[in-house]
Amino acid sequence: MFSSVLIANRGEIACRIARTAKRLGLRTIAVYSEADAQALHVRVCDEAYLIGPPPAAQSYLVMDKIIAVAKASGADCIHPGYGFLSENAGFAQACADAGIVFVGPPPDAIRAMGLKDRAKALMEKAGVPVVPGFHGDMQEPKFLQRKAYEIGYPVLIKAVAGGGGKGMRKVERHADFDAALEAAQREAQNAFGDARVLIEKYVSAPRHIEVQVFADGHGNAIHLNERDCSLQRRHQKVIEEAPAPGMSADLRARMGQAAVAAALAVGYQGAGTVEFIADSAGGLKDDGFWFMEMNTRLQVEHPVTEAVTGLDLVEWQFRIAAGETLPLKQDQVRLDGYAVEARLYAEDPERGFLPSTGKLVALRFPKADGLRVDTGVEAGDTVTPFYDPMIAKIIAHGATRNDALDALANALEATVVAGPRSNAGFLAALARADAFRQGDFDTGFIDAHLGELGATRQGLDRAAAARGAEMLLAQERARLASAGSASPWDADDAFQLSGARTLSLPLIAEGESVTAQVSYGHGVPVVSIDGTPAASDAVAIAAEDAVYVLRAGRQTKVTLRDLALDEAGDAGGGGLVRAPMHGKVLAVLVEKGTAVTRGQRVAIIEAMKMEHTLTAPVDGTVAEVAVEQGAQVPEGAKVLLIEAASAPSP
């Protein structure tokens, strides 16, 4: 076994790797960017080294810097986690050339599976079923358009070097192909440095089922059963579970054998995941699954496999990289109960799941038997715009699938995240959704049920805002009391010369100007907004500049309104286009003086390597362009101002 490991990653996966490494007695070495100087993974490791500025391209993706730290620190091996350099064959080769063990597969295996088109050709040769499509070298747009037509719509455009849903577009109609191709290629180039794509037939009722495989350097390979990752949004996984609902023992064996054949075909070593698309129409079928791709690394969702097998997959990775044989044979692999994992993100489901950045004013997780939380942040840390906005993975294990889902939903509802918005309420609703519980779902389930899951605009929660007003009022009273100041807030009696004593409290709640009514009678003051009393079922958390109220999975930010300032938003600014989140301006598509129509694309902003298109809110003329291409803009920053067109004279 090794004596030390450099963890070439950040966040929750770096913390998770460090946990196993420490248990095995390894000295743990972290690397960090300037944005992560105070990050949790830096604090939990034995040593930590700065490797560059916040952008990953200048820090976590710079191979030479990481190799240099490994040499300087005397690391025996490098564990890449997932993402960043984990599937980079050049990095695996650089480790070998430097005499440092790469905890992962050989460079040739990464190359073989790293490009989807080559991988599919290899799988066909190995007898593994493959989705029909075009996987060739020709990338001329008209040629690809013709191939899509021949395959038959709907089709999927997928980045050859892609992953995580980036560089992927579903196309329903021939007329939409060119625009979808352009967007997929641009996103693929930006995320992977490779704009090439392939075209696949889109399966109408697809389930995403993947098989965890392990292989050692002695010719042995096994699988550790399957995971169902069908609950996705924009091709990114949201909830994963093991085993897959509706999976028969025979189908599990067939998929497992195909996955092992895929690993053996490329001389694989270490942990890998073979991903299949399955046609769920009429139930899973023995002949209804096809190879999609192989991820040559540990997966985000590996904890559900650990829960049902009782294994530590990171320990297996270390042991295999150290030259040991597989710890178990195929017939020794357990499948105990059910496990389900939810990815808790700093994002706003009501605004198209836009990333949400900022300081974590509060972060608390419940504790229970069978519950596991993997996180890379603590209260007081900051979610930055530079990396994936994952807060934590919450994993629940139970005797039955419903037990596991109940435990997950309960945990999500008890989780407290304040500051950045989170998808906790959305995830809880998803875990409780009847159709999902009954196994009636595919990869389109979330998009088809957004309203039911609370992922559409719901308007201001006035009861939550009133609860925030209560806390603001209590804070002000406490401040004045400690200062020995007299104030109208001090009087608790109901005395007033005419009628009940009532005061108005001007607020900003979720950017909306509202007024709380504070009525003084016998006892404590009663606070309401537009007749709605303060919620009794909310959690209110005070910060320096605001009160954050959490209720039914939603966050309502409440502050006192300074009447001397225009805090109420954009009065008269119906043509104002603001940045919906902190990000980089990829393109400004209009100029000052350009006539635009409502819904027209006017700019593109990128956050966490995902593109978000901004559109004109009104018909009119561009009066101001406030940003330049390439600029970093904070959430709420002015991008454009459109002067609305005058209504026609009667």
Burial of 150: CB neighbours in 10 Å, binned 0-12, 13-18, 19+: exposed
DSSP 8-state code for residue 592:
T
Token couple for 18: 């460090």
CA dist 199 and 179 (Å) reads: 15
Peptide bond preceding 355: is omega within 30 degrees of 0, i.e. cis? no
Amino acid letter for position 577: V
Q: Residue 151, Cβ neighbours under 10 Å: how many?
A: 18
CA–CA separation, 191 and 87 (whole Å): 14
The C-alpha R_g of the chain, in whole angstroms, comes to 27
Are 4 and 73 a contacting pair, CB within 8 Å? yes
Contact 263, 95 (CB under 8 A): no
Angle between helices 107-114 and 89-97 (to 10 degrees): 170
- C-alpha span between 185 and 602 (Å, rounded): 20
Rounded to whole angstroms, how far apart are CA atoms 260 and 332? Answer: 16
133-134 vs 197-201, strand pairing mode:
antiparallel
Distance of CA 253 to the CA centre of its chain: 31
The one-letter amino acid code at 270 reads: G
d(CA 403, CA 493): 51
Q: Which of 408, 86, 389 is nearest to 240 (CA)?
A: 408
CA distance 357 to 581: 8
Count of helix runs (H) and strand runs (E) in the chain: 16, 38
Q: Which two tokens stand for residue 236?
A: 């990114």
With beta carbons less than 8 A apart as the criterion, state whether 513 and 505 touch. no
507 - beta bridge partners?
Answer: 514, 560
Cα dihedral sign for 555, 560, 563, 565?
A: negative
**What's at 346, amino acid-wise?**
A
Tokens 């450099």 belong to which residue? 6
- The single residue of 297, 372, 551, 554 carrying the catalytic annotation is 297
Question: Is 297 considered catalytic here?
Answer: yes
Residues noted as catalytic: 297
